[in-house]
Structure 1
Amino acid sequence: MDKLRTVSDTKRNFYQHHNRPINSIYRRVVEELMVEMHLLSVNVDFRPDPVYYLGVCQSFTQFMNGYTPESDKDSIFKALCKSIGDNPDEYRQKSEILLNFATQKSPQDLINWLLNPTHDNGLESIAEHWRYALDNPKFKYSRLFAIGFYSLLEKSDVEIVKDEEKFAELIKPLTDKLNLPIDKLKKDLDLYRSNLEKISQMLIVLADTLEASKKKRLEKVN
């Protein structure tokens, strides 16, 4: 029997693929995402799907906003995926296809497609992959799936995700189909939005601090 991969194994794998130090402000973001992806990957009931891929990509993009050096972000993302034996290109390609698809559909059309995925608009591989998740009686909910799902609907119509009542009514057929924990989903999305706001505020503070530091240096020179 193969030895179950541990969190330490995954971290070691990560740093084999990305050996540069991670900016201290963002280290916690990277490690929390790494651990979350690891725990899902070793769960016997978990099967990654395109919406989960999107959740990973969106989480990384949003929470690594402002990271420097910018050139390291690609290496960090690839290392996250490779640390659990996944292909980062598949994550990105399927996420991009889904987001592009969402921009062309109304929220209701999007839910209809998620309930009955078709091969329209070059979505063959996405549809088959999602169909497997949709028909899985042991579908494993995750926070990253919730973020991917939210991101799709936000891309379709940013206003629908701001109205809790309409949003809950819209997604009910899919949450029923997948037997999603509604309270957990709501809590996860509330926390996601709250953390995005904190990141935005942090970036403003950082920008102000850097500007103040720059002025002080100029004053010394002059």
Structure 2
Amino acid sequence: MDKLRTVSDTKRNFYQYHNRPINSIYRRVVEELMVEMHLLSVNVDFRSDPIYYLGVCQSFTQFMNGYTPESDKDSIFRALCQSIDNNPDEYRGKAETMLNFASQKSPQELINWLLSPTDDNGLQDVANHWRYALENPKFKYSRLFAIGLYSFLAKSDAEIVKNEEKFAELITPLTDKLSLPIDKFKKDLELYRSNIEKMTQMLTVLADTLEASKKKRQNN
């Protein structure tokens, strides 16, 4: 019987793939995402799916915004996926396919597709992957899935995800089908939006501080 991979194993794997220091402001972001992906990867009920992949990619993009050096971001993302023996190109490829598809459809059409995925528009690989998760009687909810679903629908209509009542009504058929924990789903999205706002504010303050420091050096 294979030994179950531990968090320490995953962290060790990560730093083998990405061996450069991580900017201290972002280290917590990277490690929290790493641990979350690890815990799901070792959960017997969890099956990855394109919505989850999109959630991982969007979380990384949002919370690594402003990271320097910029060139390290790709290495960090790839190491996150490789640390749990996943393929980063598959994550990005399927996430991009989902966003491209979402940009061409209405939110209702997207929900209809999620409930009954078809292979149209070159979606065969993504549809098969989503169908595999959809048919799992023990579908495992995750915060990253919630972020992925939110991002998927926001790509179609940025306003509908801001309207709590309309958004809840729109996704009800899917949340019912998957038996998602609605209260946790709402809290996870509220925290996600709040953290994005905090990160944006922090980057603004940091940029202002660096600019002031630069001017001070120039004046001395």
**1:160-180 alpha-carbon deviations (Å, 9 max, x no partner):** 001100000000000000000
- Secondary structure at the aligned position of 1:48 is classed as coil
- Secondary structure at the aligned position of 1:105 is classed as coil
Which consecutive aligned stretches of 4+ in structure 1 deviate over 3 angstroms post-superposition?
Answer: none
Unaligned runs of 5+ in 2: none
In structure 2, C-alpha distance between the alignment counterparts of 1:81 and 1:141, rounded to whole Å: 19
Q: Are 1:101 and 2:105 matched, yes or no?
A: no
Amino-acid identity (%): 84
In structure 1, C-alpha distance between the alignment counterparts of 2:4 and 2:108, rounded to whole Å: 41
- Secondary structure at the aligned position of 1:92 is classed as helix
What is the TM-score of this pair, normalised by structure 1?
0.99
Report how far residue 41 of structure 1 moved: 0.4
Report how far residue 117 of structure 1 moved: 0.3
- Secondary structure at the aligned position of 2:51 is classed as helix
**1:108-146 alpha-carbon deviations (Å, 9 max, x no partner):** 000000001000100000000001111110100000000
- Secondary structure at the aligned position of 1:216 is classed as helix
Report how far residue 25 of structure 1 moved: 0.3
Tell me which residue corresponds to 1:118.
118
Report how far residue 197 of structure 1 moved: 0.2
Tell me which residue corresponds to 1:35.
35
Unaligned runs of 5+ in 1: none
**1:152-198 alpha-carbon deviations (Å, 9 max, x no partner):** 01000001001100000000000000000000000000000000000
In structure 1, C-alpha distance between the alignment counterparts of 2:58 and 2:172, rounded to whole Å: 23
Tell me which residue corresponds to 2:23.
23
Tell me which residue corresponds to 2:144.
144
CA RMSD in angstroms, aligned pairs only: 0.4
Q: Are 1:47 and 2:47 matched, yes or no?
A: yes
Q: How many residues are paired up?
A: 220
In structure 2, C-alpha distance between the alignment counterparts of 1:50 and 1:196, rounded to whole Å: 22
In structure 2, C-alpha distance between the alignment counterparts of 1:174 and 1:75, rounded to whole Å: 35
